[in-house]
Structure 1
Amino acid sequence: MANSQGLVDALPLTAAPAQRAPRQNWILDPAQDMAAIILAPLLVLAVALIMFATLGAVAATALIVTTHIVMTVAHHLPTFIRIYGDVELFRRHRATFVIAPLLPFSLSMAAGVWLITHDLPIENLLYVFLLAVIWDPWHFLMQHYGFMRLYDRHNAAPRKLAARMDLLLCASWFIAIMLAAGEWLAGLLEDLYQSAGLPLLLAFPPHMISALQQLSLFVALAATAAYAVYLLWCRRHHYFVSRSKLALFASSFGVMLLTYTPNALIEKLAPGWSFKAGFAAVGIVHMTQYLAIVWRYNRGLAAQPQRARAGWFLRVHARGGWIIGAAYVALCLGYGELLTTNWDSRWLMALLISLGLTSTLMHYYFDGFIWKLRQPDNRGPLALPALANTQPSTTRDQAPASRVALRQLAYFGIPLGVLSVGAVSVWQGAQSDYLAHLLQAQKLSQSGQANGAASEARSAFALMNGQLPIERRLVELHPSADRQAKLALLIYNQSRLEHLVLPTLAHRSPDASGLAEHRDHVREAANWLQLALDSGDPIAHAGRPQMNADGGRRLLAAWLREIEPERSVPH
């Protein structure tokens, strides 16, 4: 459904006003549409809030995220059932369906083999999903937009105007909410740097996110005002506007605004709530909606035996019913569970990660064209009215297989290749953890190996110098407590290494100017740590996974004693 520009074409071409208001159309039926599509965001949020109240923030978040991961992969399977079951669709795109999965799977497996043969953690292979993380917002937005167009298909307003107004409303609020959340963009840029060595976040000027947040909110509010005028115009001309469409928009973006962005209400309803929990909860809704639309399509396809694939596909979908529907959902969940289960075998994990990546990318890619509803073959199973002046669908993959392969190389090979080159540089130590070098320097110093200790210390110092602007920019983009605490530790350790440790290892006494500069850096580090503690949020991070508020206060007190021995830290 996502990327389905064809859903824009779900309305008749005529601009003549309807003589009487048509009844609201449904994808399944009123009750099922309300539960699985329209009110699904509110229902999932209610369940999530109950989990937070009964299990606590940590356990509830873990369960919600795990469910989201399984269901994310689970909802890929309906795409492939749809492709396999529609004989005409498979005929039109045979070359793409066969060739497209080969490249991402092969590249991912090759990277997995490299990791295994070099005795590196197989978890490093997860860098390949960065491409999916980048693609996901567009996929999510276009699925929601597609549902709005389906519910509004009886609107006789000019089709292009209606489609553009719906897209403007959806896109403006989606962008505003994602930017207001802050954590998504900062997290993506951090992952691109840590997993693939791409320091793209340095391209963002200071405070750019804040400016973009204000601009996007202004655009969203202006788009809402324009949409209100459009609705009044439709009413004046007696054009039907779906209330279900408006309810879907309100429930989806209302829940996103509540759960993605920091606000007092969600903190009161669910103490410890995070963007991670909100993103996962809304993501579960995305899956239920997709399962519903594919089930509806396949049921409609089964009513056209000449197009539906003979055998189990036709028999199952022609019969339908609650039992078969439940089996369909169970099969999809089983698929998701299989590809997301952790195993001890590194070879098996490399295979499952590669299959998971291929499943994700093919779901995004195929959905970009298999749902184009301008094609008459795609309108029939969803009971959409025929469009005027449309021609029967023709074969798309008329190019030779070699040209199709080159097209997939551009789609998948280039971005995955860039990510892979960066990931290899990370694996080979170009971005090692400075803490590992510090610990090694300490061990060598304690064993009397001064030269080795000095070498490790210099390596740690070089890595700190490279890491410091990254951490500063991350705090500017999203000033969370854990990032502030991480920056504080980095500032302190870098200064101590430069002004105290390295001179000592070189058999020199620290000079007065260096000590004064060190005190300034310790004071800055203490300020960042104080901000993190004042927020009341967790300050643990990758460098200090066990760090808590008490430990942070003790560390802060030690730093303050180092620069101002007479000062104490209030409790």
Structure 2
Amino acid sequence: MGARGGRGVRRYIVSPAYDWLLFLAPPVLALGLGVAISGSGFATDALVVAGEPTTGAGLCIGVLIHAHLVAVFFRSHANPKILRRFPIRFLVIPPLVWLAIALSPWLAILATVVATFWDVWHSGAQTFGFGRIYDRNAGFPVHEARRLDFWLNQLLYAGPILAGATLMEHLVVLEDFETFEDALSNFLILVPVDVGQRQRWLTWGVMGGGTVFVAFYVLYYVRLWRRGLKPSWLKVWLYASTGLCSLYTWGLNSWGEAFFIMNLFHAVQYLGLVWATEHGGWLKRLRVEAAPLARPLLASVFVALVLGYGLFVETLDTSWTGLWALTLVVSLMHFWYDAFIWSVRDKQV
């Protein structure tokens, strides 16, 4: 897997066309699509799905979000080598977490809060992981500027969310604790009010600082290149475009489609990654590697399964506590599983 550039260097993860379509261009393409649908009937006309108000755009992005969340199980449970190494994590922990969430309303709300903010960290880490693969493929020293890369992704993804125009949308989940009277719940329900009073200064601080950070980052890599090192410019493009997209989408939300834009490209990248890394093993275990239509048929089944789950969640009656708890478990396991699958995959293959 991977396309080679000059002098035998494998620059791409899969191929130029695949990488640009599913990894490198999605942030910019999603931004363009978000701007295009802003103010349209697709984004504004009200729909009622499972008794809840939404829009066409909201329904579609919700399906895609949950589709990419459940796709992690194709990296874990559908990979025998990984599954055998971590049986407790994959087979014991999920039902225990589900039971706790189903039985305790307080834990259910806590799980929702944890999932909301874990998602922020996870999204930055995913982009960081792509970049490290591009550097490895380019022959760039793996420890060079690693910390700078990591914090660029975390700060430019998390910063605009935690201090931008959509900050209160992320903090509103804390208001669910108002039905409880313990000290921790009383503290958490005050956070949105306290932070809201400082939002303007937080937003412009992050916007200004983030823009300077991206410029510094690009210039830093130009300096490394002049010293004779060969960083992956595909990585630099991915990080800079994602960072600027995050800053001005989450930070200002000028078109009102920040949630749609950022989740669209993240989910597309992840689904592209799962297919690229796992489908070879599926074909081998099914013994259909040589079948001419095996790959497109398997791709269709994969997409249908994950989108089917996404549609199931979006049309789910949330009063069904057990099923709603299941969707929270899938979200939490996605963030947890994917973090360590990234770290063990090179040793596993």
Instruction: List per-residue Cα deviations over 1:381-425 (Å, max 9, x = no partner).
Output: xxxxxxxxxxxxxxxxxxxxxxxxxxxxxxxxxxxxxxxxxxxxx
Query: Is 1:233–2:223 an aligned residue pair?
Result: yes
* Deviation at residue 371 of structure 1 after TM alignment: 1.4
Q: Distance in 1 between matches of 2:169 and 2:40?
A: 29
Tell me which residue corresponds to 1:158.
141
**Secondary structure at the residue paired with 1:166?**
helix
CA separation of 1:222 and 1:282: change in aligned 2, threshold 3 A = closer
Q: Distance in 2 between matches of 1:284 and 1:236?
A: 36
Contact 1:340-1:356 at 8 Å conserved across structures: no
Tell me which residue corresponds to 1:170.
153
| Number of residue pairs matched by the alignment | 328
Within 5 Å, which residues of 2 pair with 1:85-104? 85-104=78-97
Contact 2:34-2:261 at 8 Å conserved across structures: yes
Q: Distance in 2 between matches of 1:143 and 1:372?
A: 12
Contact 2:9-2:139 at 8 Å conserved across structures: no
* Deviation at residue 376 of structure 1 after TM alignment: 2.1
Tell me which residue corresponds to 1:568.
none
CA separation of 1:81 and 1:35: change in aligned 2, threshold 3 A = same
CA separation of 1:317 and 1:25: change in aligned 2, threshold 3 A = farther
Tell me which residue corresponds to 1:193.
175
Q: Which one of the candidate residues 231, 237, 243 is aligned to 1:247? A: 237
Tell me which residue corresponds to 1:119.
none
Q: Distance in 2 between matches of 1:230 and 1:374?
A: 30
Instruction: List per-residue Cα deviations over 1:112-148 (Å, max 9, x = no partner).
Output: 7x9xxxxxxxxx9677422211211011111111111
Q: Distance in 1 between matches of 2:43 and 2:301?
A: 32
Q: Which one of the candidate residues 287, 298, 307 is aligned to 1:333? A: 307
Within 5 Å, which residues of 2 pair with 1:372-391? 372-373=343-344, 375-377=346-348, 380=349
Query: Is 1:360–2:334 an aligned residue pair?
Result: no
**Secondary structure at the residue paired with 1:372?**
helix
Contact 2:218-2:236 at 8 Å conserved across structures: no
Within 5 Å, which residues of 2 pair with 1:254-293? 254-262=244-252, 266=254, 273-274=255-256, 277-293=257-273
Q: Distance in 2 between matches of 1:282 and 1:241?
A: 26
**Secondary structure at the residue paired with 2:161?**
helix
Using the size of structure 2 for normalisation, the TM-score is 0.80
Q: Which one of the candidate residues 55, 66, 74 is aligned to 2:67? A: 74
CA separation of 1:376 and 1:191: change in aligned 2, threshold 3 A = closer
Tell me which residue corresponds to 1:350.
321
Q: Distance in 2 between matches of 1:254 and 1:21?
A: 32
Within 5 Å, which residues of 2 pair with 1:526-541? none
Within 5 Å, which residues of 2 pair with 1:403-482? none
Question: Bigger relative contact order, structure 1 or 2, given CA contacts below 8 A and separation 6+?
Answer: 2
Instruction: List per-residue Cα deviations over 1:307-343 (Å, max 9, x = no partner).
Output: xxx4x4x648997533321321121101211233234
CA separation of 1:287 and 1:225: change in aligned 2, threshold 3 A = closer
* Deviation at residue 84 of structure 1 after TM alignment: 2.2
Q: Distance in 2 between matches of 1:374 and 1:298?
A: 11
Letter in 1 for 2:268: T
* Deviation at residue 47 of structure 1 after TM alignment: 3.2
Contact 2:24-2:234 at 8 Å conserved across structures: yes
CA separation of 1:361 and 1:250: change in aligned 2, threshold 3 A = same
Contact 1:140-1:286 at 8 Å conserved across structures: yes
* Deviation at residue 155 of structure 1 after TM alignment: 4.1
* Deviation at residue 296 of structure 1 after TM alignment: 1.1
Within 5 Å, which residues of 2 pair with 1:104-123? 104-111=97-104
Using the size of structure 1 for normalisation, the TM-score is 0.51
Q: Distance in 2 between matches of 1:247 and 1:49?
A: 21
* Deviation at residue 59 of structure 1 after TM alignment: 2.3
* Deviation at residue 282 of structure 1 after TM alignment: 1.5
Give the unaligned 5+ runs of structure 1.
Answer: 1-19, 115-123, 267-272, 381-571
CA separation of 1:229 and 1:373: change in aligned 2, threshold 3 A = farther
Letter in 1 for 2:229: Y
Q: Distance in 1 between matches of 2:87 and 2:251?
A: 43
Within 5 Å, which residues of 2 pair with 1:35-74? 35-52=21-38, 54-55=40-41, 57-59=43-45, 62-74=55-67
Query: Is 1:30–2:16 an aligned residue pair?
Result: yes
Choose 1 or 2 for highest CA Rg. 1
Tell me which residue corresponds to 1:481.
none
Instruction: List per-residue Cα deviations over 1:453-501 (Å, max 9, x = no partner).
Output: xxxxxxxxxxxxxxxxxxxxxxxxxxxxxxxxxxxxxxxxxxxxxxxxx
CA separation of 1:87 and 1:317: change in aligned 2, threshold 3 A = farther
* Deviation at residue 372 of structure 1 after TM alignment: 0.7
CA separation of 1:72 and 1:317: change in aligned 2, threshold 3 A = farther
Letter in 1 for 2:299: G
Contact 2:164-2:251 at 8 Å conserved across structures: yes
Contact 1:298-1:317 at 8 Å conserved across structures: no
CA separation of 1:350 and 1:201: change in aligned 2, threshold 3 A = closer
Q: Distance in 2 between matches of 1:102 and 1:38?
A: 36
Contact 1:48-1:64 at 8 Å conserved across structures: no
* Deviation at residue 284 of structure 1 after TM alignment: 1.8
Letter in 1 for 2:116: V
* Deviation at residue 53 of structure 1 after TM alignment: 5.4
Instruction: List per-residue Cα deviations over 1:222-261 (Å, max 9, x = no partner).
Output: 5335423431332123322222222222332333333323
Q: Distance in 1 between matches of 2:129 and 2:298?
A: 26
CA separation of 1:374 and 1:359: change in aligned 2, threshold 3 A = closer
